[in-house]
């Protein structure tokens, strides 16, 4: 029997703190007018000191699992698309796996810049369609505020923090992720990069002094690249899915710049009501922007069962990707009974206790081994 990868759960998390264009105008030589007219951004969210990519990813994931009424212990795989992981390793996906108590799940991070979530959706859905897995949690999460140079007006006005999660589930109902197109052109890698902190330029006093741990971007070239690939990738994914442009209910692009989205919509001849834009509230949240946009589109009643959606990402790498989805879940989803919510919270508490006990176990084990080695050494 044919298998399909349906999106059955969704959730988002953004920090409470809002940074407006006017706030930025007090920090660098810019203005609300310049930012609005050149990008469409009005405000963005900034993580509190204790918030990280993992904490936002966990909250978005918990909402997605609640919407789907799914048990984290039954997840097969967790993919976190991010350019701002909590650590270079372990993977942020493993921090999410631990916090959710997803004891059966594999977990890895995926690095494809702002395209990461769309790449991850393609990977996760293929894992399901191939028959390898039944439930895959796909997350896009970023804390870009930690790698922004707050004195560089070329970049600091553009980005924001947040996370979005989608739960993919195997189904025999036709639909879900119908096609995916992935692209890359590494020759443009230095147009958008974080130069230091990797094996080429490990962190040092010099790299910090030279500001190499901040986002470096050639905005104009990225703009040109994005306007070139967005509509093209959407067309390719539609052709692969055998879906006509006229049958698209909603176009959800990476939310980097309103002018890029407008150019793509114009090229695809899509009317404004078929184009989703929310970047005025969040700025560019990189790999989190597409899942956050999808969550808000659902919330606003702009997605219905059997609708065809196109989602497109583009960004560092250079990378780009598009997926076509036929929505398979009736909306709105009924609220779960209170006891289920309480049961779920209890499970997360238990996951935290379990994690603590296991950490303690590792510590005791290594202390015992140290004692053993010392005693044997003194013989
Ligand atoms: O997620 C994927 C990664 N990023 C993107 O998708 C970003 C893609 N690029 C863009 O969105 C746009 O290129 C920007 C919004 C970054 C810049 O807009 P632009 O219309 O391409 O501006 P520009 O780079 O051509 O700069 C125009 C002028 C420059 O001044 P001069 O050289 O003409 O005197 C900039 O210095 O605007 C100046 N400028 C600013 N002025 C006020 C640049 N940033 C600012 C600013 N406030 N924040």
Clarify whether residues 347 and 309 are in a common domain.
no
294 and 345: one domain? no
Q: Do 224 and 364 belong to one domain?
A: no
What integer is the mean pLDDT of 139-143? 98
pLDDT tens-digit profile of 213-248?
999 999 999 999 999 999 999 999 999 999 999 999
- Is 284 annotated in the active site? yes
Enclosing domain of residue 279: 4-326
Q: What is the pLDDT of residues 262-312, one digit of tens each?
A: 999 999 999 999 999 999 999 999 999 999 999 999 999 999 999 999 999
CB atoms within 10 A of CB 227: 20
Q: Indicate if 246 and 360 belong to the same structural domain.
A: no
> What CATH number should be reported for the domain holding residue 14?
3.40.47.10
In tens, the pLDDT along 165-222 reads 999 999 999 999 999 999 999 999 999 999 999 999 999 999 999 999 999 999 999 9
Catalytic one of 13, 114, 156, 295: 114
pLDDT level of residue 155 (50, 70, 90 thresholds): very high
Same domain, 40 and 158: yes
Whether residues 232 and 309 fall in one domain: yes
Same-domain check for residues 299 and 353:
no
Q: Which atom of ligand 1 is nearest to the CA of 30?
A: 47
Cα first-last separation, the chain:
66
Tally of structural domains, the chain: 2
Q: Which atom of ligand 1 sits closest to the CA of residue 315?
A: 2
Query: Are 293 and 372 found together in one domain?
Result: no
> Distances in Å between the alpha carbon of 37 and those of 32, 191, 257, 259, 304?
8, 23, 10, 9, 32
**376 is known as an active-site residue:** no
Question: Can you count the helices (H) and strands (E) in the chain?
Answer: 12, 14
Q: Are residues 147 and 166 located together in one domain of the fold?
A: yes
């Amino acid at each position: 029997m044919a298998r399909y990868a349906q999106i059955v759960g969704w959730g988002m998390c953004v920090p409470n703190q809002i940074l407006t264009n006017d706030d930025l105008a007090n920090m660098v030589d810019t203005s609300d007018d310049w930012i609005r007219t050149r990008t469409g951004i009005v405000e963005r969210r900034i993580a509190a000191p204790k918030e990280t990519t993992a904490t936002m990813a966990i909250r978005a994931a918990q909402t997605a699992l609640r919407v789907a009424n799914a048990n984290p212990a039954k997840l097969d795989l967790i993919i976190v698309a991010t350019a701002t992981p909590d650590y270079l390793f372990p993977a942020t996906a493993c921090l999410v796996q631990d916090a959710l108590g997803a004891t059966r799940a594999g977990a890895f991070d995926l690095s494809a810049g702002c395209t990461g979530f769309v790449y991850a959706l393609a990977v996760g859905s293929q894992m399901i369609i191939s028959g390898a897995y039944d439930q895959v949690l796909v997350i896009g999460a970023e804390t870009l505020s930690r790698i922004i140079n707050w004195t560089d007006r070329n970049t600091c006005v553009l980005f924001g923090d947040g996370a979005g999660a989608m739960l993919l589930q195997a189904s025999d109902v036709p639909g879900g992720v119908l096609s995916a197109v992935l692209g890359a052109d590494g020759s443009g890698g230095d147009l958008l990069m974080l130069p230091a902190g990797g094996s080429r330029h490990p962190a040092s006093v010099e790299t910090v002094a030279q500001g190499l741990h901040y986002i470096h971007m050639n905005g104009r070239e990225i703009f040109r690249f994005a306007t070139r690939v967005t509509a093209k990738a959407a067309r390719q994914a539609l052709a692969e899915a055998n879906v006509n442009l006229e049958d698209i209910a909603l176009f959800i692009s990476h939310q980097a710049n309103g002018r890029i989205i407008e150019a793509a919509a114009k090229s695809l001849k899509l009317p404004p009501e078929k184009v989703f834009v929310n970047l005025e509230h969040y700025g560019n949240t990189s790999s989190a922007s597409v899942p956050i946009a999808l969550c808000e589109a659902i919330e606003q009643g702009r997605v219905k069962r059997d609708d065809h959606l196109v989602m497109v990402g583009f960004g560092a790498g250079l990378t780009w990707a598009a997926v076509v989805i036929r929505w398979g879940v009736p909306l709105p989803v009924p609220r779960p009974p209170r006891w289920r919510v309480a049961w779920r919270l209890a499970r997360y508490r238990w996951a935290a206790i379990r994690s603590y006990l296991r950490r303690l176990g590792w510590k005791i084990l290594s202390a015992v081994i140290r004692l053993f080695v010392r005693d044997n050494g003194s013989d």
